[in-house]
Structure 1
Amino acid sequence: MRKVVVYEFVSLDGVAEAPDTFVVGHWDDVVDANIPRVIGTQDAVVLGRRSYDEWARYWPESDIEPFASFINGVPKYVATSTPLDRDWAGATAIDGDLADFVGKLKREDGDEIGVHASISVARALLAAGLVDELKLVIAPCVAGRGRRLLDGLPAIRLEALRAEPTPSGYLLAHYRVRPH
């Protein structure tokens, strides 16, 4: 069975919304090297509609590698109730219930399924018990406001798999979601 992996940039107080507003300065080579490790194990991505709309405008023309090649080439499944109005290679609107769709996708052959930048999708899949791992890049700051990744969720037990501080103060945290 495939794993669902949520990968998010968050502030120390858990804010995941608009990480470009709280990611202070440039991150270091350790944070940079983490990105290919994360995406190198994924062959599908689930996005929310808001993330899709923002990313479909940005990533097709981007040369920020290796993420641009990854996100432009990977199948992207979009949680939305309306048709996709931008043409982006490999993007498909999810037909029906998000949890049902991802549950079926997990049972198919393949590598990991990534959830990137989509707070509502991450929350919904965590609440449904479909997320296997959280890979967080915790920025060395308190954002103070914005949507928090884990707000409104039931109790979820995690097992720490890795925690690596970086020279610029970020923390790369990798957790396994433990079964209830």
Structure 2
Amino acid sequence: MRKIVSYSLISADGVVDDPPVFVHDFDEVMREHLGTVIGTQDTVLLGRRGYDDWASHWPTAGEEPFASFINGVRKVVVTSKPLGTPWAGAEVLAGDPRASLAERLAPIRNASGGDIGVHGSVTLAQSLLAEGLVDELRLVMTPYLAGGGRRLFDGAPAGALELVGSRNTPTGTVLLHYRIRRRP
């Protein structure tokens, strides 16, 4: 089964809303880390709001490495409505919208391929965490206290994380890689 990997830019107090406010110095170590993460992914899950925001931005963002990745990768949008803005490689998640996310994602997770990424879709990431569908967390924790905003883990079930790796960057950001431990 393919892994679902949630990648989040997160403040030191857990806020994931509006990363440009708290990600000031995206340094070379962070770029390398992002390249490693997206290098394993061939599908990205997006929520509707994330899709709408990104579909109007990334296709014209130039040659930045994430732009090349996100414009070329398969994008599966979790929504019950047709997509308004066209974007190459985008499709609506198949299945009955009343079914659980686990049921709707099963055909994608059970198909061969790379990791399935979740980028920039806070509500979707929270829903996937709540349903126990996220396998790994890749957190880019910045040295900034946002003081308020949506927190990634609000509503997430309690559970243990296994630290796979961590790395400090020259700008004080900590790159965290966790595997979510499943209860037997």
**TM-score, normalised by the number of residues in structure 2:** 0.93
The CA deviation string for residues 74-113 of structure 1, in whole angstroms up to 9 with x for no partner, is 1101111211100000111123343322232111100000
**Aligned with residue 102 of structure 1, among 101, 105, 125:** 105
* Distance in 1 between residues matched to 2:145 and 2:88, nearest whole Å: 36
Q: How many residues align?
A: 179
Partner of 2:72: 73
* Distance in 2 between residues matched to 1:127 and 1:107, nearest whole Å: 20
Q: Does residue 128 of the first structure (1) align with residue 128 of the second (2)?
A: no
Q: Does the Cα contact within 8 Å between 1:99 and 1:124 map onto a contact in 2?
A: no
Q: Does residue 162 of the first structure (1) align with residue 161 of the second (2)?
A: no
**C-alpha displacement of 1:152:** 1.2
Q: Secondary structure at the match of 2:53?
A: helix
The CA deviation string for residues 28-57 of structure 1, in whole angstroms up to 9 with x for no partner, is 211111111010000000001111000000
Partner of 2:178: 175
Partner of 1:10: 10
* Distance in 1 between residues matched to 2:48 and 2:163, nearest whole Å: 30
Deviation >6 Å, runs of 4+: none
Q: Which runs of 5+ in 2 are unaligned?
A: none
Q: Secondary structure at the match of 1:38?
A: helix
What is the aligned-residue identity percentage? Answer: 51
* Distance in 1 between residues matched to 2:19 and 2:102, nearest whole Å: 26
Q: Which runs of 5+ in 1 are unaligned?
A: none
* Distance in 2 between residues matched to 1:7 and 1:102, nearest whole Å: 18
Q: Which moved more, 1:154-163 or 1:99-108?
A: 99-108
**C-alpha displacement of 1:64:** 4.3
* Distance in 1 between residues matched to 2:147 and 2:80, nearest whole Å: 31
Q: Does the Cα contact within 8 Å between 1:14 and 1:149 map onto a contact in 2?
A: yes
**TM-score, normalised by the number of residues in structure 1:** 0.95
* Distance in 2 between residues matched to 1:141 and 1:56, nearest whole Å: 28
- Matched residue type, 1:51: G
* Distance in 2 between residues matched to 1:5 and 1:17, nearest whole Å: 19
**C-alpha displacement of 1:150:** 0.5
- Matched residue type, 2:103: D
Q: Secondary structure at the match of 2:6?
A: strand
Partner of 1:60: 59
Query: What pairs up with 1:17-28 in 2 under 5 angstroms?
Result: 17-24=17-24, 26-28=25-27
* Distance in 1 between residues matched to 2:125 and 2:78, nearest whole Å: 11
- Matched residue type, 1:20: P
- Matched residue type, 1:56: A
* Distance in 2 between residues matched to 1:50 and 1:156, nearest whole Å: 28
